[in-house]
Structure 1
Amino acid sequence: MPPTPQTVVTGLGIVSSGGTGTDATWQSLLAGRPTARAMPLTAEQTPLPTCRVPDHDSARRVSGAWARRTDRYSQLAFTAADEALAAARLDPGCWEPTRVAVVMGTALAGVATLQSQITHQIRGRKVSPLTIPMFAPNMLPGQLALRLNATGPNLAVATACASGATAIGIAAQMIDAGTCDIALAGGSEAPIAPVVTAAFTRMNALAAPRADPGAASRPFDADRDGFVLGEGAAVLVLEHSVHAAARKATVLARLAGFGATADSHHITDPHPDGAGLSQAIAIALRQAGASPLDVDHVNAHATGTLKGDAIEAALLERLFGRHATVTAPKGTLGHTLGAAGAIEAALTVRAVAEQQVPPTANLDRPDFDLDFVTGTPRSQRIRLALTNSSGFGGQNTALAFTSS
């Protein structure tokens, strides 16, 4: 038998279209309030519904030099990390830096910076010497480590839309192995750029424009037709349980299981019977010493696409029937790609900590036979909760959180 996971969560930080801060995002979810708004990116593009962070003033929240020298996806992560550390009551000036890891996920990294600098080059202007440090995926954990005096393992994770969740799982493995005592783990994405929306539009992946943009993101709904692109970040403070106990930290949840698999089926489509995600869930539950009957709540990946939602829902029906409640935050927050798994992991921890499940926005006509939470929040006993993430390339990740 594998050793019992010893990683606990002691701090959360979220920046999303629901607001800057975990409380703001949580309240948006509890209200079932969609955040999508239509905004054109260029004069040539049709305005599309997108979910943007409404109140993140980088100049105010990030010091001048950092704001000038980093992409927005890094700046969102800085804010999330600051909140998570404050919530965990950790002072980077006082910790042992060699025992602190930073593991962050992203799908597209600084794509907006890359697009702007290519535009400069085409127009005959000089390209910024900071282009690569602002764009490269590994610069996010590197920048966080530099800001926070963390000299332990420093990793960037790129598993498409599962990146943030995978980063959390890898960080927990390092803590359980004794490689570090503390890890800042999560994901960040600021992908709302013309080239990204144009590419997803060509793939027929995005929700079509609607008279009411807020109604566009419809996870598991019979009227869904694609996902709504969003931006955001989440950082979790993970600690070894012994380390957390020694400093009398408040434990929000225990990360009891982590499973990661590949479909090996198609470059963009999920496996038709959800085989990879099913295996990831099985691994996470085995680590947690649990079975599907022990799962009280599932935070679903559910992006609002016809095929993806149907495959995930069929899998959840087979594994859990109506035994576990199901929610899908992307109805409110849109799809934040590499940040989605981290944001939803943080929200799952919040659900476990508060014993409450937020509703899925825009789920007016459920297309599947699951115990969806809709309309209003539901208070319930949550001993074990799962959060699922999948992505292009056949990536699958499942995280299991318990209340103790």
Structure 2
Amino acid sequence: MKKRVFINYFDTISCAGDNPDELFSSICEKKDTISLDTNYVKDSVVAIGKIKKEIPLNELLLQRVKKLQKELSLKDFRNTLLVIGSSVGGMSETENVYFKDKNYKNIDYKKHPIDSIAYFLKQHFSFYDDISFSTACTSSANALGYAKEVIEKNIYENVLVIGIDELSYTTVCGFSALSVLSSKPCTPFDKNRVGMNVAEGFGILFLETKKNRNSIELLGVGYSSDAHHMTQPHPMGLGAVASMQNALKDANLSSIDIDYINAHGTGTYANDFSELTAIKEIFKSKPKVSSTKSTTGHALGAAGAIEAIICCMVLKNQTIVPNKELNVIEIDGLNYSFSTQKQEIKYTLSNSFAFGGNNTSLIFGICNED
């Protein structure tokens, strides 16, 4: 008998807000949160999701994990598995040292790799164990999927999942080299899209076997790999179709049960066309669809965790969130959300797709009484 998996706490920081309530408000009110920057790409203006912060992102994360420990009345994390999802790990730390000293020899190798976040947190807390995922833009979605699997198999009773990525020259310039960056806030699904906005931030979710009155249930996870291209998804969305179908099967739901889809929706033609084609293929009942990246930017490895929190807030508030800038629809036949609307919502689905055709879909739901 599989254990049920409950999200009993979540927190986040991004350019869209300092906490889940601010994040949700920014999305619902279509606030302008993306900034223009000339520092990352030479002779270019790029729109990025930058957090206004006075201390490093890791230090902000430490503060929030301490807050979690206090609010959940946890003496320690000795019975907790730590699962990190990150695309760049300590890349920003490495860049800061190198640009300052002009010498790679001063780089601390323990602060560079993907597990550098776990290494940092373990200086302050004792965890039962830890594991780090780096699968590009599905990193923290895969971290959540892994957490679900180990809890439902009764390997762990609680798991702390953290998705985190900080802006770095390596990532911003890398996407610039692919010619997919936008010089204005991104407009997913709009025919006149320009490109995507790289962003930073983190999402924290505490998952347990026990339910409380505020729990959101993580019901399904679906994975796939279409391996169509190094950086582009299959144009007909074959991988996206598979991951969403697998998530529905895992949740024991049908496509008609989903009320809202938080799309991966990066604002690039390849991703938008592929994902919308996949959604049309599966969801004949036409649930509401929106991408929130025009407000949050694309936080890469942290995106899955942040958008999982958005799905939790949609369920808690029984409110569908809108696409911020969708003026000229390119693909019709979908139920795009244009405004913030109250409605009954039982199940939400969140998509995260990454380079190499690596796809993950997650399904969340309001807890049943049984």
Which of the five TM-score ranges fits, normalised by the shorter chain?
over 0.9
Corresponding residue for residue 120 of structure 2: 143
Shift of 1:200: 1.3
User: What SS does structure 1 have at the residue aligned with 2:137?
Assistant: helix
Which of 43, 65, 89 is 1:109 aligned to? 89
Corresponding residue for residue 336 of structure 2: 372
1:190 maps onto 2:166 in alignment: yes
User: What SS does structure 2 have at the residue aligned with 1:298?
Assistant: strand
Moved more, 261-270 or 39-48: 39-48
Which of 257, 265, 268 is 2:231 aligned to? 268
Please say if residues 160 and 393 of structure 1, whose CA atoms lie closer than 8 Å, have aligned partners that are also in contact.
no
Shift of 1:5: 5.0
Residue identity matched to 1:165: A
In the superposition, relative to structure 1, how do residues 102 and 314 fare at CA in structure 2: closer, same or farther (>3 Å)?
A: same
Shift of 1:113: 1.9
1:326 maps onto 2:278 in alignment: no
Distance in 2 of aligned mates of 1:85 and 1:12: 12
Shift of 1:47: 2.5
Give the TM-score, by structure 1 length: 0.85
Q: How many residues align?
A: 366
1:235 maps onto 2:217 in alignment: no
Please say if residues 98 and 106 of structure 2, whose CA atoms lie closer than 8 Å, have aligned partners that are also in contact.
no
Moved more, 333-342 or 197-206: 197-206
In the superposition, relative to structure 1, how do residues 324 and 39 fare at CA in structure 2: closer, same or farther (>3 Å)?
A: same
Residue identity matched to 2:260: H
Residue identity matched to 1:224: R
Which of 269, 272, 277 is 1:306 aligned to? 269
User: What SS does structure 2 have at the residue aligned with 1:153?
Assistant: strand
Corresponding residue for residue 326 of structure 2: 363
Taking only aligned residues, the RMSD between alpha carbons, in angstroms, comes to 2.0
Residue identity matched to 1:222: K
1:34-84 deviation digits (Å, cap 9, x = unpaired): 311112216944231111112x332xxxxxxxxxxxxx4533433443455
Question: How does 1:152-171 map onto structure 2 within 5 Å?
Answer: 152-171=128-147
Distance in 1 of aligned mates of 2:254 and 2:40: 50
Please say if residues 7 and 176 of structure 1, whose CA atoms lie closer than 8 Å, have aligned partners that are also in contact.
yes
Shift of 1:4: 4.5
Residue identity matched to 2:162: G
In the superposition, relative to structure 1, how do residues 4 and 324 fare at CA in structure 2: closer, same or farther (>3 Å)?
A: farther
User: What SS does structure 2 have at the residue aligned with 1:256?
Assistant: strand
Distance in 2 of aligned mates of 1:377 and 1:37: 23
Distance in 2 of aligned mates of 1:84 and 1:391: 29
Distance in 2 of aligned mates of 1:39 and 1:280: 35
Please say if residues 227 and 334 of structure 1, whose CA atoms lie closer than 8 Å, have aligned partners that are also in contact.
yes
Which of 99, 119, 124 is 1:119 aligned to? 99
Which of 307, 315, 319 is 1:352 aligned to? 315
Richer in helix (by share):
1
Please say if residues 257 and 284 of structure 1, whose CA atoms lie closer than 8 Å, have aligned partners that are also in contact.
yes
Distance in 1 of aligned mates of 2:87 and 2:253: 31
Distance in 1 of aligned mates of 2:92 and 2:122: 23
Shift of 1:121: 5.1
1:2-50 deviation digits (Å, cap 9, x = unpaired): x455100100101000121111111111111131111221694423111
Distance in 2 of aligned mates of 1:19 and 1:224: 24
**Gap runs ≥5 in structure 1:** 59-71
Please say if residues 276 and 331 of structure 2, whose CA atoms lie closer than 8 Å, have aligned partners that are also in contact.
yes
1:217-241 deviation digits (Å, cap 9, x = unpaired): 1111111121011111001110013
Corresponding residue for residue 5 of structure 2: 7
Which of 180, 192, 195 is 1:205 aligned to? 180
Corresponding residue for residue 74 of structure 1: 58
Give the TM-score, by structure 2 length: 0.93
Corresponding residue for residue 193 of structure 2: 224
Residue identity matched to 2:216: A
Please say if residues 41 and 176 of structure 2, whose CA atoms lie closer than 8 Å, have aligned partners that are also in contact.
no
1:99 maps onto 2:79 in alignment: yes
Residue identity matched to 1:266: H
Corresponding residue for residue 347 of structure 2: 384
User: What SS does structure 2 have at the residue aligned with 1:326?
Assistant: strand
Please say if residues 81 and 184 of structure 1, whose CA atoms lie closer than 8 Å, have aligned partners that are also in contact.
no
Distance in 1 of aligned mates of 2:223 and 2:129: 20
User: What SS does structure 1 have at the residue aligned with 2:124?
Assistant: helix
User: What SS does structure 2 have at the residue aligned with 1:267?
Assistant: coil
Residue identity matched to 1:279: A
Corresponding residue for residue 54 of structure 2: 57
Shift of 1:189: 0.6
Moved more, 266-275 or 303-312: 266-275
User: What SS does structure 1 have at the residue aligned with 2:356?
Assistant: coil
Residue identity matched to 2:54: D
Residue identity matched to 1:387: S
Question: How does 1:22-61 map onto structure 2 within 5 Å?
Answer: 22-41=20-39, 44-54=42-52, 56-58=53-55
Distance in 2 of aligned mates of 1:139 and 1:79: 17
User: What SS does structure 2 have at the residue aligned with 1:348?
Assistant: helix
In the superposition, relative to structure 1, how do residues 84 and 350 fare at CA in structure 2: closer, same or farther (>3 Å)?
A: farther
Question: How does 1:168-187 map onto structure 2 within 5 Å?
Answer: 168-187=144-163
Shift of 1:321: 3.7
1:156-179 deviation digits (Å, cap 9, x = unpaired): 001110111110110111111112
